[in-house]
């Protein structure tokens, strides 16, 4: 993997991570809007319905952006693995000193 490919993958991973965090925050906002809608005595006149519908629209858009970022990340990973079907796990020396190997607990 070239340094440029590493930078591209890191950038794509950060874009996906940011999109994921944003979608989760909007999902929490949507849940609050739906709770307010359900708790409202007159939801149509209180504006709770409008807020709930708007929150749903924002979550849908955020999901679309998150999926696009994930597709871009997957595409970059697929093009840079150079025929590797599986990744090797490299255990760092300091890590192995602190934890027993699998099956040796």
Q: pLDDT digit of tens for each residue in the chain (105 aa)?
A: 788 888 999 999 999 999 999 999 999 999 999 998 888 877 667 788 888 899 999 999 999 999 999 999 999 988 887 655 666 666 656 555 555 555 554
Let me know how many helices (H) and strands (E) the chain has, helices first: 4, 0
> Is 105 inside a domain boundary?
no
Q: What is the pLDDT at residue 66?
A: 97
Q: Residue 21 belongs to what domain range?
A: 3-98
> Is 41 inside a domain boundary?
yes
> Is 16 inside a domain boundary?
yes
Q: What is the pLDDT at residue 39?
A: 86
> How many folded domains does the chain comprise?
1
> Is 28 inside a domain boundary?
yes
At a CB cut-off of 8 Å and minimum separation 6, what does 55 contact? 26, 29, 30, 33, 34
Phi-psi region of 83 (alpha: psi -120 to 50; beta: other; left: phi over 0): left
> Is 104 inside a domain boundary?
no
> Is 27 inside a domain boundary?
yes
């Amino acid at each position: 993997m070239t340094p440029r490919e590493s930078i591209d993958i890191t950038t794509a991973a950060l874009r996906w991570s940011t999109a994921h965090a944003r979608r989760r925050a909007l999902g929490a906002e949507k849940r609050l809007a739906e709770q307010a809608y359900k708790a409202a005595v007159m939801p149509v006149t209180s504006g709770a319905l409008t807020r709930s519908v708007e929150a749903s629209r924002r979550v849908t858009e955020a999901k679309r952006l998150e999926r696009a970022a994930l597709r871009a990340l997957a595409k970059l990973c697929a093009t840079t693995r150079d025929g590797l079907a599986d990744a090797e796990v490299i255990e760092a020396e300091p890590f192995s000193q602190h934890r027993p190997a699998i099956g040796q607990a």
